[in-house]
């Protein structure tokens, strides 16, 4: 069985840091991750579209959607690690 690897982004938290700085750092990490993942999804979609699907547009939109979803997922993880968002399940 294969185990799914998860990447966790560490946001530096110092004892005397104001909360606005911590949240700002988390937002910076979340937005940069979303931009990178969306760009990678776009690039992969364009490549697959050109090579396999005769330049149709759905692979590009699918790649962008996967990139945005991955960016959202990692942003959620970052905000949970910082303590801004807690889920009691």
Tell me the HSE value of 48 on the side-chain side, using a 13 A CA sphere. 14
**pLDDT band per the 50, 70, 90 thresholds, residue 3:** low
| Res 60: pLDDT | 93
CA distance 53 to 74: 30
pLDDT digits (tens, 9 = 90+) for 10-29: 665 556 777 778 888 888 98
pLDDT digits (tens, 9 = 90+) for 49-78: 999 988 888 999 999 999 999 999 998 888
């Amino acid at each position: 069985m294969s185990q799914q690897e998860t990447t966790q982004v560490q946001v530096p938290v110092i004892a005397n840091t104001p909360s606005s700085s911590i949240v700002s750092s988390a937002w910076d990490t979340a937005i940069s991750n979303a931009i990178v993942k969306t760009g990678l999804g776009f690039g992969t979609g364009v490549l697959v579209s050109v090579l396999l699907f005769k330049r149709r547009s759905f692979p590009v939109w699918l790649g962008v959607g996967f990139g945005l979803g991955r960016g959202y997922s990692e942003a959620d993880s970052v905000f949970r690690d910082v303590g801004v968002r807690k889920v009691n399940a």
